[in-house]
């Protein structure tokens, strides 16, 4: 005989309030539950499992409509179709998150510029061309720099100069970098690497994705994306012994 739970017990176990549970049932996110002769809702283990799935989908940023669509696969009782649908949703949201990250980087740079501009001149009368209220009076601003790192490195342990990417995945990764690096407009040397500046048509979400993926499989490299008056750039650094590897993949500074 399966265990039956009252709505308060389900709320305590799932983390959803009783009002939310009623609402989810009302909009079809939860199937209609059975009731006692007195009219009280009773839930079973399947409902708890479904609520755990809903909680996970919400954690990944899914909307209620997206969760309802995923629920169609969930009702089939097989993990494969659920994974397939969730994988597609996650991929779309990952792309969106990366685009938002780049947008926030750009906005942060503009806000920093505005804050500095507003401190340079305060006219006694109306606003003018140098007060910062209507124009940007600053020239070059320091770059907004976002490091890309999947795994924190231990300071006392040097990462091996080796790539963990499997041989079957290597050609696809190299081709993805080849397509992306075609957007590079110039390469400049750094003390321990290079800075590649990209053109305006560069798919920035792909730049973030590839840099994160490369950092994950090649921890001896470090990546940072910068945005300033010169444009969007990727800074790649490596130990001295790994500089030939870096240059073979990302090119040689002019």
Could you tell me the residue ranges of all domains in the chain? Answer: 5-77, 78-140, 144-250
132's torsion region: left (phi>0), alpha (psi -120 to 50) or beta? left
Class assignment of domain 5-77?
mainly alpha
Spatial strand order in the sheet of 41-43: 5-6, 41-43, 34-35
Q: Which long-range contacts (CB under 8 A, 24 or more apart) does 131-138 make?
A: 138/113
Instruction: Give dist(CA 6, CA 127) in Å, integer.
Output: 65
Note down pLDDT in tens along the chain; length 254 residues. Answer: 568 999 999 999 999 999 999 999 999 999 888 898 888 899 999 999 999 999 999 999 999 999 999 999 998 989 999 999 999 998 888 777 767 776 776 677 677 777 877 888 888 889 888 888 877 765 555 555 555 544 444 444 467 888 888 889 999 999 999 999 999 999 999 999 999 999 878 888 888 889 988 988 898 999 988 877 677 899 999 999 999 999 999 998 87
Report the Cα 78 to chain-centroid distance in Å: 28
């Amino acid at each position: 005989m399966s265990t039956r739970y009252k709505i308060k017990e389900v709320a305590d176990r799932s983390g959803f309030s009783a009002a939310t549970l009623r609402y989810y049932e009302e909009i079809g996110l939860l199937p209609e539950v059975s009731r006692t002769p007195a009219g009280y809702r009773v839930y079973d283990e399947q409902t708890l499992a479904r609520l755990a799935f809903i909680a996970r989908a919400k954690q990944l940023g899914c909307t209620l409509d997206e969760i309802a669509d995923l629920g169609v696969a969930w009702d089939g009782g097989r993990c494969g179709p659920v994974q397939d649908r969730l994988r597609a949703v996650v991929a779309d949201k990952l792309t969106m998150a990366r685009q938002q990250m780049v947008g926030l980087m750009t906005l942060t740079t503009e806000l920093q510029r505005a804050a500095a501009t507003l401190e340079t001149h305060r006219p006694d009368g109306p606003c003018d061309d140098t007060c910062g209220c209507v124009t940007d009076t600053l020239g070059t601003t320091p770059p907004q720099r976002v490091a890309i790192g999947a795994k924190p490195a231990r300071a006392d342990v040097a990462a091996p100069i080796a790539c963990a990417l499997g041989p079957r995945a290597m050609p696809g990764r190299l081709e993805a970098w080849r397509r992306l690096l075609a957007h590079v407009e110039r390469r400049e040397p750094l003390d321990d690497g290079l800075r590649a500046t990209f053109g305006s048509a560069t798919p920035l979400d792909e730049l973030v994705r590839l840099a994160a993926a490369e950092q994950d499989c090649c921890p001896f490299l470090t990546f940072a994306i910068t945005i300033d008056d010169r444009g969007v750039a990727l800074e790649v650094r490596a130990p001295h012994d790994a500089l030939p590897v870096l240059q073979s993949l990302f090119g040689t500074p002019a």
